[in-house]
Amino acid sequence: MSVKQQKRIRRHKKIRMKIYGTHERPRLCIFRSNQHVYAQLVDDNKGKVLASVSDRDLKAKLASAKGCEVAKEVGKLIAKKAKELKVEKIIFDRGGFLYHGRIKALAEGAREEGIKF
């Protein structure tokens, strides 16, 4: 494992000690790879994933879009799924990644759909 990955995992562990998702206010967990962005709504009480979205779900819709544009659409889609589950507030888990670029765009997309952090 590279030093960069080890640092991210260490940051993520620190974050996870402080935040906890419930059914009323689930945790929005984000993972970013070099090519893709994934988002999940997690209920930590039951240990269940309530909803999940990735940019792979949007490939046909956003064939020409790249990076932050795709992440913003993923944020909007996870927010719509949260609304279907009647969730208005979430806890944002950036997964050890810096709040910048695609992570920030995903959060802004979710906020545009009316989800409160």
pTM for the model stands at 0.88
Per-residue pLDDT tens over the stretch 67-89: 899 999 999 999 999 999 999 99
Domain for residue 117, yes or no?
no
Asked if residue 1 has pLDDT above 90, the reply is no
Q: pLDDT class for 60, splitting at 50, 70, 90?
A: low
Asked if residue 4 has pLDDT above 80, the reply is yes
Domain for residue 108, yes or no?
yes
- How crowded is the C-beta side of 13, counted as CA atoms within 13 Å? 6
Domain for residue 59, yes or no?
yes
Closest by Cα among 108, 41, 112 to 78: 41
Domain for residue 82, yes or no?
yes
Give the integer Cα–Cα distance in Å for 68 and 109: 10
Per-residue pLDDT tens over the stretch 23-53: 899 999 999 999 999 999 999 999 999 999 9
Domain for residue 23, yes or no?
yes
Closest by Cα among 41, 52, 17, 53 to 90: 41
Task: Indicate the burial class of 8 (C-beta count within 10 angstroms; 0-12, 13-18, 19 or more).
Answer: middle
| Overall average pLDDT of the 85-102 stretch | 94
Amino acid at 73: E
CATH number of the domain where residue 27 is located? 3.30.420.100
Number of domains in the chain: 1
Which domain range does residue 25 map to? Answer: 3-112
- Model pLDDT, residue 59: 74
Domain for residue 91, yes or no?
yes
